[in-house]
Amino acid sequence: MNPKRLLIVGGVAGGASCAARARRLSEDTEIIVFERGPYVSFANCGLPYYVGNVITKERSLFMA
């Protein structure tokens, strides 16, 4: 039997959530996330603060 493969387009909040959920549902599925930007996910809940100039450095939204 061939292993299942899941391809996810978009690696920000929705894509990362989808990948995490898929992993919880199946440890055997190969999960591949495609993201065109330089970061896979970021603190999406901080975006209103960045847009409202409360957070002035975009880099503050990223974590390692």
Q: Which of 1, 7, 25, 45 is catalytic?
A: 45
What is the rounded CA–CA span in Å between residue 33 and residue 29?
13
Is residue 45 annotated as part of the catalytic site, yes or no? yes
CA atoms within 13 A on the CB side of 12: 10
How far is residue 24 CA from its own chain's centroid?
Answer: 15
Where in the sequence numbering do the catalytic residues fall?
Answer: 45
